[in-house]
Amino acid sequence: MSVLVGKDTRLCVSGITGREGTFHALNNRNYGTNVVAGVTPGKGGQDVEGIPVFDTFHAAVADSGANTAMIFVPPRFAADSILEAQDAGIELIIAITEGIPAHDELRVFNHLSHQSGVRLIGPNCPGILSPGKANVGIIPASFFKEGNVGVVSRSGTLTYQIGNELARAGFGNSSIVGIGGDPVPGSSFIDIIALFEADPETELIVMSGEIGGSAEEEAAEYIAANVTKPVVAYIAGFTAPPGKTMGHAGAIVSGTAGTAVAKAEALEAKGVRVGRTPTETAEIAAQILSA
């Protein structure tokens, strides 16, 4: 088992003819992901190393049966690309694009919240990897192997580090989901933790958060009430100066709200062990799994 992407994924890449879109679409295909189509307006009828390109998502879905979209278009076009994918019947949309205006993100969030049968991951995320099954995004798959640890993270880089530490300790992953660090994410920690809780392959969940917002505190309440599997967490930003944006647009602390200390305390109060470094987090996870 895995969550969100797997052997049944049929991927369509928006922006496939751009440099980054081409590189990662082919990289995903080389991993084993079934990349069935691409979309670039005005370039329909072309192909990218055998992957057919269409002018619209509607045409791509009708021809290829795509059920998953990866968005690699520039920020000013990304919101419309996401909404077009949803309108064409795509069930899972993974928005890699960074720098989408917050107003556009809010427009997308409000629209999708009234739709059924569609899930958005991102924007500004590294994507999703189910080791041995499918890779949709920019996650360096060679770092990971199949296993029983589910990882959900706001930060792509920290995802890679924690996953690599686990792999070096001899443990693999069921799926790795990067939800992105923007102020208006399509999916939350709670959304993904619920999927891991229901996944029989996942035996332990690692949550990698960061300063800013209240997503980690909300996740702590959800975990206490709904999750039976062990959860280990890491919060980036213990040394971040108050009021300064650190890395992601959503990682800004106001006063004492949203600090790494406050988030760690909220999680630990609900029984979630929190590592102070990615290495310590992986070590805690390994200890629990070994026991």
- Residue 288 CB contacts under 8 Å (≥ 6 apart), including other chains: 204, 230, 232, 273
Rounded to an integer, what distance in angstroms lies between the CA atom of residue 247 and that of residue 203?
31
**Tokens standing for residue 60:** 């791509």
Residue 103 is among the residues annotated as catalytic for this protein: no
Number of H helices, E strands in the chain: 9, 14
Tell me phi and psi for residue 286, to 5 degrees. Answer: -65, -40
Alpha carbons 79 and 103: distance in angstroms, whole number: 10
140 and 160 in contact (C-beta within 8 Å)? yes
* Angstrom distance (rounded) from CA 198 to CA 114: 24
Cite the DSSP H helix spans in the chain: 19-31, 57-64, 75-87, 102-112, 156-168, 189-198, 215-226, 260-269, 278-290
Which residues form the catalytic set? Answer: 248
